Amino acid sequence: MKRLFTILLGVFVAVAAMAQTSIRAEVHNIVELSERFNLVFIVEGENSPSSFNWEPGDDFTLVWGPQKGSSTSISMVNGKTTRSSQVSYTYILQAKKTGSFTINPATAKVKGKEITSSPVTVKVVDNGAKQSSQATQGGGSQSRQSSQAASTSDADIFMRLTLSRSSVVVGEPVTATLKIYHRANLVGFENAKFPAFKGFWSSEVEAPQNVDFKREEVNGTVYNSALLRRWVIIPQKAGDITIDPAEIVCLVNVQRRRSSGSIFDDFFGSDYATMRQRVYTSSPVLHVAALPEGAPASFGGGVGEFSVKARVSKDTLKAHDAASLVVTVSGKGNIALLEAPKVSFPPDFEVYDVKSTTSGGATSGSKTFEYPFIPRSHGDFTIAPVKYSYYDVKSRRYQTAQTDSLHIAVQRSQAQGASTVQDGGNALIVERKGVKNLDEDIRYIRTKTALGGPGKFFIDSVAYIVIAVLMVLAALGFWLGFRKVAARRADVAGTRNRKATKLALKKLSQAREFLQKDLYTAFYEELHRSLLGFVGDKLSMDMAQQTKENISQSLIAKGVPENVVADFTGLIDQCEYARYAPDAGHEAMNAHYEKAVSTITAIDSYMKKGPSYTSAGMIALLLMLSPAALNAQALSYPDSLFKAGCEAYASADYATAVSAWEDVQATGLTSRELLYNLGGGYVKTGEIGKAVLCYERALRMNPSDADVKYNLDYARSLTQDRIDAVPEFFLETAARNFCFSVPSNVWAALSLVFLAVTLLLGLLFLLGSTAGKRRLGFFGGIAALLVTLVCWDFALWQSREARRQDLAIVMKPVSQVGSTPSEESAKSLFILHEGTKVKVLDNVSGFTQIEIADGRQGWISSRDIEII
């Protein structure tokens, strides 16, 4: 067993020794056909080879070799001695023909074991006629040297600035490589000037400290080339961008000869001088196309191919603890220029400035964005998926990568300054704080409206005047009626006349009781008294005057027909006759009773006969309702357009919503709600001038509308012009604010109410029964009259403001205000932008003289403004 182990250990040591010994070939990768070049085989290891063999083959001519060289090194570290040897075999070869050839591997024996080198390929080129200026298509050179020095041409040394792509889109990375090529005795560089890359974002990715030259073929000629710089450049604008050339001064050793005429000049008559030669590149042009339109809202400037992932820095979190959302965008493209993705945090999270770090190269790797936040309340929260859109250069379209939703459970925590509330034995932490605005926007549109023609104020309407006049007439009528009532109360005869029918019918009811009991004499006596009492009260006749002739004449004079008068006098005669005649029976009594009732009613009716207005009132009502019904039918189409606009606005299709509402306006109908909605639509579509105009018009229809005021202030905040207005007298400002706190129609209604109060107090002054009531009526009436006048004036004030034609809004994005109403001779005074409110002073030949809020005046084209 021990012997087997010794054998295995020997084999292992031998194999290890063989593994440590290697053979490699060193040769130029490119050579010229006429060039003699070195091929060196190097055997390295602990042991030297005992034999070495290599055959040049048919493709190369062995000019000289092999030349053997060897070296040995011994080192001792921590008592351990290490020995290594290096044996080289050098051959000088010359190629027989052009092409790419594989050099035969060499073999060597080390301790009886044979090792072999790896094959090496050499490219052979014919440099004969190709050593021309073709090689310098990347640039040129200028040399400064003495007249005795040999020169180097542009073909001997030049520099190239190459781009990895010639056509890209904005934001697509391009690699720019600067290399130098030479066939001269180059010994150094100085005064290097590299491109500034104007119009690009640039980053230097390679800047070698030691210039390492390697052979490289250029147009069939072999040069020694070296990398000087390599950049990643990213275009920031579209168009054909020219890159500035690079320059460098090369130090070149050149041989110069003396011309003394001596035969020894060929041996001793030459030396070397250093020449400075300026080399520069051409100016490459990069064709940059703009990114296509229609970029998603989540587009962050990325061009390439990317993915996104997100995580929260802490697994467990308590209220008021700091944490971070870490979003990493990785892939290939313009990594360094990626913008931070938009993240929608829960409302109660305080979010701080985003930090970003980049890892990897300039064109690949990842960029990490850290969003520090602090949750201020406990509960379960969700961060919506983070979307990141980029432009994919392969598919030539926008792509969107997104993460999953992140769910965060925030636990309660004790916060400084918080109060503790006991809930079932548990302490709850409650921190009170102010409500903070997260963002600002206009208020939402109105979904209901009453469309109509151009609005009129109640104070300007005929109805207001009619109501006021009717109230005055009513008060006057009440005063006259009160006086008439007083006079009637003083007229005893008139009172008897008015109560005659009522008393007569009361007495007839007594007669009816006698009729039911068949009391013949009592019935006719009561019927006779009723008839005479009625005519006495009605005609104000005493008993002595109540003869049939007087009664007939008086009734006929009052407009009672003769037949009715005859029936009445006939009843009196029958009553007088029945008192002395025998019983005529129950039927005769009943007939006389009914005739008495009908005759008294007829006489009373004829004496106070009046017209009926029932039919006329119904006709008038129908005439009033018919136009309204017709108008309601006419409004059905505009109403449908208004609702369609509201639905489009709700789905964020603002252009369609504005188009629908403009179609409603085209019908000639309008309303405050329509103008309010149009203003909101114009804000969303970026037409600030039209938005301000619509809000101003809506505010004129109701100056107290808080939503219109808020949206108007928001729209004004989006305008470019900031003008300091001339201060207004504080009493005028206070009066204006008080006046416009409620609509004009409310002031008009209040003026009518206080007018009614004034009239009532006036009546109290005129009709009061005591001196105290008359004093209250006098002074109270004066106070009520003053309030009436104030309300009336405020209503008129708003009406006048709404009818003003001297205020306008600038509608053109940029408008020039000149010194005169002319485009040729006017000097430019200042510039106004859309949405600015101006006062109109005059109009001359298509120009309008305006005044802005700070008092400055000028002339502007009438086409650039629109009257509110």
pLDDT tens across 642-684, in order?
Answer: 888 899 998 888 999 998 898 888 887 888 888 999 999 999 9
CA-CA distance, 820 to 808, in Å (whole number)? 19
Region of poorest pLDDT, from 119-128, 176-185, 231-240: 119-128
Region of poorest pLDDT, from 94-103, 151-160, 381-390: 151-160
Enumerate the β-bridge partners of residue 510: none
Task: List, for residues 37-50, the tens digit of each pLDDT value.
Answer: 899 999 988 888 88
- Residues 108 and 43: beta-carbon distance below 8 Å: yes
Instruction: Taking each helix axis as running N to C, give the angle between helix 672-685 and helix 654-666, from 0 to 180 degrees, rounded to the nearest 10.
Output: 140
> With helix as H, strand as E and coil as C, how does 78-89 read?
CCEEEEEEEEEE
What value does the mean pLDDT take over residues 615-627? Answer: 41
Predicted pLDDT at 632: 46
Predicted pLDDT at 618: 41
Residue 601 binned pLDDT confidence (cut-offs 50, 70, 90): confident
Residues 6+ apart with CB under 8 A from 460: 799
Residue 693 binned pLDDT confidence (cut-offs 50, 70, 90): very high
Mean pLDDT, the chain, integer: 81
pLDDT of residue 612 exceeding 50, the answer is no
Token digits for 70?
């060897």
pLDDT of residue 614 exceeding 50, the answer is no
What value does the mean pLDDT take over residues 41-68? Answer: 88
- Residues 295 and 170: beta-carbon distance below 8 Å: no
pLDDT of residue 65 exceeding 60, the answer is yes
Cα-to-chain-centroid distance, residue 63? 81
**What angle (nearest 5°) sits at the alpha carbon of residue 861, between those of residues 858 and 867?**
90
3-state helix, strand, coil in the chain (%, to 5): 35, 35, 30
Residues 6+ apart with CB under 8 A from 714: 440, 441, 442, 683
Residue 526 binned pLDDT confidence (cut-offs 50, 70, 90): confident
Phi/psi at 344 (nearest 5 deg)? -100, 100
Residue 641 binned pLDDT confidence (cut-offs 50, 70, 90): confident
CA-CA distance, 622 to 632, in Å (whole number)? 15
What value does the mean pLDDT take over residues 702-713? Answer: 86
Residue 351 binned pLDDT confidence (cut-offs 50, 70, 90): very high
Predicted pLDDT at 446: 82
- Which pairing describes strands 30-32 and 120-125: parallel, antiparallel, or unpaired? parallel
What value does the mean pLDDT take over residues 54-66? Answer: 89
- Residues 767 and 475: beta-carbon distance below 8 Å: no
For residue 858, the one-letter residue type is G
- Residues 108 and 18: beta-carbon distance below 8 Å: no
Predicted pLDDT at 46: 82
Predicted pLDDT at 739: 83
Q: Which residue has the higher pLDDT, 611 or 598?
A: 598
Give me the residue label for tokens 């208004």: 642
Predicted pLDDT at 4: 52
CA-CA distance, 127 to 104, in Å (whole number)? 25
Token digits for 701?
């229809």
pLDDT of residue 298 exceeding 70, the answer is yes
Predicted pLDDT at 146: 38
DSSP string, 591-611: HHHHHHHHHHHHHHHHHT---
- Helix/strand/coil for 252: strand
Q: Which residue has the higher pLDDT, 263 or 727?
A: 727
Give me the count of residues in the chain. Answer: 868
Radius of gyration of the chain (CA): 57
pLDDT of residue 179 exceeding 90, the answer is yes
Predicted pLDDT at 129: 44
Predicted pLDDT at 617: 42
Residue 496 binned pLDDT confidence (cut-offs 50, 70, 90): low
Task: List, for residues 767-797, the tens digit of each pLDDT value.
Answer: 877 888 888 888 988 999 999 999 998 988 8
Per mean pLDDT, which of 219-223, 259-263, 341-345, 568-572 is the most reliable? 341-345
Region of poorest pLDDT, from 339-348, 398-407, 420-429, 735-744: 420-429
For the chain, give the percent of residues with pLDDT over 70. 83
For the chain, give the percent of residues with pLDDT over 90. 28
Region of poorest pLDDT, from 49-63, 87-101, 108-122, 505-519: 505-519
DSSP 263: T
- Residues 718 and 705: beta-carbon distance below 8 Å: no
Residue 136 binned pLDDT confidence (cut-offs 50, 70, 90): very low
Exposure string of 45-79, with b = 16+ CB inside 10 Å and e = fewer, is: bebbbeebebebeebbeeeebbeeeeeeeeeeeee
CB atoms near residue 722 (< 10 Å): 8
Predicted pLDDT at 270: 59
Q: Residue 278's closest CA among 255, 250, 256?
A: 250
What value does the mean pLDDT take over residues 264-273? Answer: 62
Please state the pTM of the whole predicted model.
0.49
Cα-to-chain-centroid distance, residue 115? 76
- Residue 4 burial by CB count (10 A; 0-12/13-18/19+): exposed, middle or buried? exposed
Residue 445 binned pLDDT confidence (cut-offs 50, 70, 90): confident
Predicted pLDDT at 736: 80
- Helix/strand/coil for 779: helix
CA-CA distance, 523 to 507, in Å (whole number)? 11
What value does the mean pLDDT take over residues 43-62? Answer: 88
CA-CA distance, 115 to 107, in Å (whole number)? 6
**What angle (nearest 5°) sits at the alpha carbon of residue 813, between those of residues 809 and 819?**
70
CA-CA distance, 333 to 365, in Å (whole number)? 9
Predicted pLDDT at 488: 61
Give me the residue label for tokens 């049939």: 548
CA-CA distance, 687 to 689, in Å (whole number)? 6
